[in-house]
Every structure is written in structure tokens, then in C-alpha cells.
Amino acid sequence: MSELKKNGPEYSAAADWVSFKPEIKILDCTIRDGGLMNDHNFDDKVIRSIYNAGVEAGIDYLELGYKGDGKLYAPTQYGPWKFCREEDMRRIVGDNDTPLKLSVMADATRTDYKTDILPKSQSVVDMVRVSCYIHEIPTALDMIKDAHDKGYETTVNLMAISTVPEPELDSALRLLADSEVGTLYVVDSFGSLYSEHVHYLVKKFLQYGKKVGMHAHNNQELAFANTIEAIIHGATIVDGSMAGLGRGAGNCRTESLLGFLHNPKYKLRPVLGCIQEHIEPLRDKLLWGFDIPYMLTGVLNQHPRSAIKFNFSKDKGNYLLFFEKL
């Protein structure tokens, strides 16, 4: 590879790419993904701080939680961000008269979407993200149309992508290409993907004429690197969470994305303040972040539920025992 001259056109083009790509958007999922570690029982003060930090930092989207079906999830067990009722969201954000857009996640088969997702004109939410496994695509397609017809931006987050056989993935993408969905997400649910997988999947998804997003988990300490790989190959909306807060090993860090993208509208300081005051104090109780059990489930392409259970058990720290169980 020829060396770039600092004053030459090649250097200028490279510097422009690294410094600023305005089409790339950040979606912060701290509340939604972090809620998987505490049944969505966050104090309002924490939620309000995350929201305020998102506004001040210039983040593009903030995901407040799930639209869980109250008939499937007991409100006595789960906090309000499992359901994202309009009155709870507005208690925090008011009318959200800010540039920050709000999203919710609707799980296929676990959301009473026709009832609980109101028309956009009646909601503070801007985007509905439909999450599904490959066998739930027919339900997801109906949910996407419902949300689109109600006036929302939409994404589909195809979970556990690392376990989906190629012919089934191709069939699903063909169906989604003909749907109203705006963005197709590559979701590394088990934190098992490597850069070559991300490269391949982003390129494949882009062939279907939709925008592409990336949601990476950090089981093998690759969430940030894989997100960069997705950006390089054409993803234009990327997920992060503050301090990586999320299920198990956690996610790509929002603060890392803010630093990497060099977009002058992004401000790092508000996010650092929120992490210092409200997120890191949760770590001793919620125990998210990279460790060996989460690494092992990532290496073996397995759901992290076994590692989560192990890390809260009396055998925590006995890595050989956990390895043998796997």
C-alpha cells in the first residue's frame, strides 16, 4: 500500500472519512438493554439522567424500553420500562421538544402491538423497533406494517443472526425487502461474530435496498470493533449503551462511538457525567460487562443466559466448572 502524503488528495479523502460522516446515527439503548439485567426496575432519576445526557450529547435516538404485553409480564415484577406506557414516558420526557428521537422495542409474539402501540399522533415515540427470531418473520412483517401505518419509523432487529442458516436468512431478507421496514439490523445477540462475519452480513443486508443498522454485544470484547466494521461497510445507524450497560457482557459503548465518529454535534461530556453519577454505581449489583463466562458463551455461539445464571450463583469465579458444563 502506498504511503499517503499529508498534503495530497489521497490524504484529504482519508481524513474526511475518518473525521465526519453525517449520515451515521447513534441509537442509545442503555435503558432498554440495561433493563434486561434488573427487570427494567430503574429509578426515575436514572432514566431522567440518561434522557438528559442523550439530549445534551446530541445523540440521535434514545430507546426507552420495550412494549411488553401486560398479559405476559406481571407489572408487579417488571418496572415501567418493560411496557413503556405513554404516561410513564411522558413523566420523564414531557412532549420531548428536542431533536432527540425516542424509540421502543416490540418483541414479536410478546407485544400486544395493535392495542398498546398508539398512533404516532398520540405518542411521544418516533421509532418502533421490531425484534424477532427467524421463525417469527411472519409476525414481524405484520407488526412492521402496523407501526408504519400508524406513522412510525421502523426497524427490524433479526436476533441471534449467528445461528440462522443461510437459505432461511435469504428468504427472510427477501420478504423484508418487500415490506415497509426502514432499517434492517444485524444483531449479534450472542457476541459471537468476528469482523469478517460483520463485513459479510452488512454487505448482504444492503443488497436488499434498505438502510442497515448494527447492534453488537461484547462477549469477546469485539462490540466496538465490530460496530466500526459495520460502519466501514455501510451501516448508518449503530447502537450503543452508556458504559456498555446491557444484558450479560453488555454492548458497544455509546461513549466510544461518540469519540470515534468525530461528528461536531456530538458532545462526550454529558454522557461521561451520567456514567459517573448514575451508571457505574449500578455495576456491583447488575454485574454486566466482559468476563470469562460471557466470553465462553460467545466463543461457543450460545445464548448468555447460562453465564448470567452462573455469575449470580455460589460457583461464580469457578471458570473451569462453567467451561465443563458448557
Coil, strand or helix at 103: strand
Give the residue from 225, 220, 226, 224 showing the smallest Cα distance to 186: 226
pLDDT, one tens digit per residue, over 225-275 is: 999 999 999 999 999 999 999 999 999 999 999 999 999 999 999 999 999
In sequence order, what are the beta bridge partners of 105? Answer: 66, 129
Report how far residue 176's alpha carbon sits from residue 209's, in angstroms, rounded to the nearest whole number. 10
pLDDT at residue 9, rounded to an integer: 45
Report the 10 Å Cβ neighbour count for 196: 9
**Residue 210 DSSP one-character state:** S
In this prediction, residue 198 has a pLDDT band, given cuts at 50, 70 and 90, of: very high
Same domain (yes/no): 96, 196: yes
Same domain (yes/no): 320, 250: no
In this predicted structure, the answer to whether residue 3 has a pLDDT above a threshold of 70 is no
Q: Domains in the chain: how many in total? A: 2
pLDDT at residue 80, rounded to an integer: 98
Same domain (yes/no): 314, 165: no
Same domain (yes/no): 296, 230: no
Same domain (yes/no): 127, 275: yes
In this predicted structure, the answer to whether residue 181 has a pLDDT above a threshold of 50 is yes
pLDDT at residue 18, rounded to an integer: 54
pLDDT, one tens digit per residue, over 91-143 is: 999 999 999 999 999 999 999 999 999 999 999 999 999 999 999 999 999 99
pLDDT at residue 20, rounded to an integer: 74
10/19: higher pLDDT: 19
Same domain (yes/no): 298, 187: no
Same domain (yes/no): 26, 157: yes
pLDDT at residue 21, rounded to an integer: 84
- Grid cell listed for 161: 443472526
In sequence order, what are the beta bridge partners of 215? Answer: 187
Quick one: angle between helices 137-149 and 166-177, nearest 10? 20
Q: Which domain holds residue 315?
A: 291-325
With cell 457476541, the residue in question is: 191
Kindly state whether residue 3 falls inside one of the protein's structural domains: no
Same domain (yes/no): 225, 207: yes
Which string of DSSP letters, residue by residue, matches 123-162? -S--EEEEEE-GGGHHHHHHHHHHHHHTT-EEEEEE--GG
Same domain (yes/no): 88, 166: yes
Domain at 77, CATH number: 3.20.20.70
Coil, strand or helix at 50: helix
With cell 450503543, the residue in question is: 240
**pTM for the complete prediction?**
0.93
Same domain (yes/no): 191, 313: no
pLDDT, one tens digit per residue, over 13-64 is: 444 555 578 899 999 999 999 999 999 999 999 999 999 999 999 999 999 9
Same domain (yes/no): 315, 265: no
Judged by phi (left if over 0) then psi (alpha if -120 to 50, else beta), residue 24 lies in beta
